[in-house]
Amino acid sequence: MSEGRQPSPDFDASCYVRPNKNWICGRARDGCPCRIGPSPSGECRASAECSPVLELKPSESKGTWKCTRPKDWGGPCETGPRPDGTCCRVIPNCQPQRSLRSRRGLLTRTAIVATAALVLIGLGGGWRESLLNPGIMVAGRGACFATRR
């Protein structure tokens, strides 16, 4: 671990942005992506800013719901959870976007399919003769046949 640059002391490993993810939050372009991010298949998973937990003290029967919003996202909110235990700060769904790496992969797959289609159309269509005609034979290539005569 002594090799290379070390992360800064205030670096939070839990917030690490992984560039190999295929999908990024739709709000990332506006600079406010949600904490959970999209699913691997590109569906928005945002529901609320936290999942409140029920704190039950020994003398209590009902308990109290406690906000669990992380510190780097502002810590526990002022309003706190609803009486039914749901978070009061609901995140509207977004349309996740492909990451740059995923777009490149998509472009690569498109290029492969387009090339295969062009080759098949070229070799199977009416232009086959003109497409495959190697043109005027250069002197060097002619030597290949000349030796056989």
Partner 1 sequence: MATILIAAIWLIAVKGGGWQQSYPHFTYLSGWGLFGLMLILTAYNGRKKLPFIPLLSSRLWLQVHLYLGLFTGVVFLLHLRWSWPSGWFEAALAFLFSTVTGSGIVGWWLSRALPPRLTTVGGEVPYDRIPEVVRALREDAERVALGAIPAARTTTLSDFYASRLAGFFAAPANFTAHLRGSRRPLNRMLAQIGEVRRFVNSEEGKSLDQLADLVRSKDAVDLQRSLQLVLKGWLFVHIPLTYSLLLASVAHIVVVYAFSGGAR
Positions that interact with partner 1 (CB under 8 A): 17, 19, 24, 28-33, 99-100, 103-104, 107-108, 110-112, 114-116, 119, 122-123, 130-136, 138, 140-141, 143-145, 147-148
- Give the whole-angstrom CA distance, residue 134 versus residue 140: 14
Task: With beta carbons less than 8 A apart as the criterion, state whether 67 and 82 touch.
Answer: no
Please, what is the minimum distance in Å from the beta carbon of residue 74 to partner 1? 14
Q: How far is the CB of 111 from partner 1 (least distance, A)?
A: 4
Cα 149 from Cα 142, distance rounded (Å): 11
Considering beta carbons, is residue 83 or 135 the nearer one to partner 1? 135
Instruction: Determine the residue type at 95.
Output: Q
Helices H / strands E in the chain, number of each = 3, 4
Q: Which is nearer to partner 1, 90 or 116 (CB)?
A: 116
**DSSP string over 45-108:** ---BS---EEE--TT-SS-EEE----GGGTSS-SS---TTS--S-BPPP---EE-HHHHHHHHH
Minimum CB separation from partner 1 for residue 98, in Å?
13
CA 87 distance to own-chain centroid? 27
- Cβ proximity to partner 1, 89 vs 141, nearer residue: 141
Q: How far is the CB of 35 from partner 1 (least distance, A)?
A: 13
Q: Of the two residues 4 and 58, which places its CB atom closer to partner 1 in the complex?
A: 4
Residue 64 CB, nearest distance to partner 1 (Å)?
34
Task: Tell me the two tokens of residue 129.
Answer: 């003769």
Which one, 82 or 141, has the nearer CB to partner 1? 141
